[in-house]
Chains A and B, each alone.
Chain A
């Protein structure tokens, strides 16, 4: 029974923890402008993260090493450093976006200007990273994140024409009001939002934090195969609700409040309160994860002791990196840059960084000297190679599309 509960907890945490500020904003934004014509990208993106999260979780369970740890081994110090710089930049940008997201969510609750809330948020995030046990952090914010199920409730209450929705999703076409390059720009953004690099760093480092062994492979896979698709459904719900409410009204998403508008329409004040709880949990949890990911990647490149599984004094450089990143994140937000805009850029740059991230995982997951018999099977390799091509294409297309469409105007 206890085992069943712990497995259920893991899956629920994976569902609730799946969505971050990038998913919230990008799905709502795309739903409001493109309806369901980009739904297929969410499917492709979620499948992609499932493939690579399973691989990196398996590598962590079998070798006890996290992904970024192995990047330098596999690519050498020069390419590894380039990878580190790129990942840090993107993850750092995402970290800024998540802290901003927390502040925006709190602003919606308290009506205090979000800028005043930013330093407080930064302090809170740092305190959690400093003192709270890893599993507690994951479980609390993961479970609270399930509040976002209110979007699924909203969709149901809006009583849409399901067959028409299905038709729209399976026969994608560029809406008349949008250009083709813009369509593809948002396809790349949505793809980057679903497959953000920090997720695999975090997932594999988390596996090491939680001391996974071969016995935990089953649980890890369950989290990935059940938790992630259901989490992906949450992303879908956000997009559908935006398509049903915002699109006909011609409302474009540029604030967090607008993301929640469909819920307030369909479920009322109780709904919006639950949605705000969900926003807070998703962004705060993701802020902790991205902050940790910056610490993980730097420490794992240089070989420093990292992790929350040891006392802070045993991983001093790791915690210095966490502290400095949080300060830098807060400072960036205090320049009054719009967190929503930062989010939009972070998902596109995530797409650019994807090949660097996934290539080493694919190589290591195939190495029999590390993995023994648990090397990639044909399915994992087949999908892995297909996705390697896909992420490379997305990475190459991202910047040109961004310039061409002036970041999706």
Chain B
């Protein structure tokens, strides 16, 4: 089992054997785990997984779902329904669904799920972008490294 350290918010042990024939328990090793983009930036959690049934009956994992549209249904009762409702309103479409990251964009899975894309490409990044543009950048020194 190799231990790897790239940057904070990231590394850790390897869950499972080497690639090819690798097995993984989804709820234990994938669900609710941290998503890390190709630059090491944190960009949400694996809130759910999208599954597709193929003609031969196999069930394939096609995408990672993230954001309130994916987390909402997993929260109980009123809270869950409210989350999904708020997400729908914010999004404007009739049926926005959840934010989707195609599974091909996953580079590696250890204690976190590492993506080949930058977080700007992750659909839920909108909220972070809103906070950045409307609050953080209005304050002096937002772009400077802490002194």
Query: Residues of A with Cβ closer than 8 Å to B?
Result: 62-65, 69, 72-73, 76-78, 80-81, 130-134, 136, 208-209, 211, 213-214, 302-314, 316-317, 319-320, 323, 368-372
Contact = CB atoms under 8 A, between A and B. Distances in A.
B11 A313 contact: no
A317 B127 contact: yes
A136 B45 CA distance: 31
Interface string B53-87: 00000000000001000010011100100000000
Interface residues of B, number: 49
**Which of A81, A134, A211, A316 is the most central at the interface, judged by chain B CB atoms within 10 Å of its CB?**
A316
A213 B66 CA distance: 29
B145 interface: yes
A311 to B, nearest CB: 6
Given A63-B111, A302-B45, A372-B3, A309 B8 contact: yes
Contact of B143 (A62, A64, A211, A311): A311
Interface stretch (B88-96, B100-108, B134-142): B134-142
A205 B10 CA distance: 12
Contacts of A310: 41
B138 to A, nearest CB: 11
Contacts of A73: 32-33
Task: Give chain B's interface secondary structure class.
Answer: loop
Nearest to B10: A64
A209 B136 contact: no
A283 to B, nearest CB: 22
List the 7 closest pairs (A to B, CB-CB), nearest first. A303-B45, A316-B132, A316-B131, A63-B12, A303-B44, A64-B11, A305-B42
Given A77-B75, A304-B128, 11 more contacts: A65-B12, A130-B139, A132-B147, A208-B9, A303-B34, A306-B42, A310-B41, A312-B143, A316-B136, A319-B136, A369-B15
A323 B32 contact: no
Contacts of B33: 73
A320 B131 contact: yes
B23 interface: no
A313 B119 CA distance: 14
Contacts of A368: 1, 13
Interface in B12-47: 12-15, 27, 29, 32-35, 41-45, 47
A72 B46 CA distance: 11
